[in-house]
Amino acid sequence: MKGLLSYAGLALNILIRFLLLTAAITLAGALCGAVLFVLVGMLWNMDFTLGELIRNGLFDGGFLALIWAPGISFVALVVQAHKRKENSGA
């Protein structure tokens, strides 16, 4: 029974790390999108207000990052687990 709890704790740990990394990547993409939309909008003299540019940048940047974030998170966790296994000598 102790082994089962150990695996459940490990699975929960991996799930939480996966969700946190996915959320962090999505947030970073949204913030980058907001900044880029404002810069490009001002550079090209777009007819949008600053609030509209920020909102559109947050939405588009967050959406694009959300598409890629789960895959990047999965690969990052697999690489980290592989390095941990190599270092443990197992």
Could you read off the pLDDT of 22-37 as tens digits, one per residue? 999 999 999 999 999 9
Angle separating helix axes 50-88 and 2-43, nearest 10 degrees: 150
Cα separation, 58 vs 90, whole angstroms:
44
> What is the model's pLDDT at position 90?
58
- Best CA proximity match to 17, nearest among 90, 86, 84: 84
Per-residue pLDDT tens digits for 32-71:
999 999 999 999 998 999 999 999 999 999 999 999 999 9
Global confidence as pTM:
0.86
> What is the model's pLDDT at position 15?
95
**CA terminus-to-terminus distance, the chain:** 23
56, 37 contact by CB (below 8 A): yes
**Alpha helix positions (H), the chain:** 2-43, 50-88
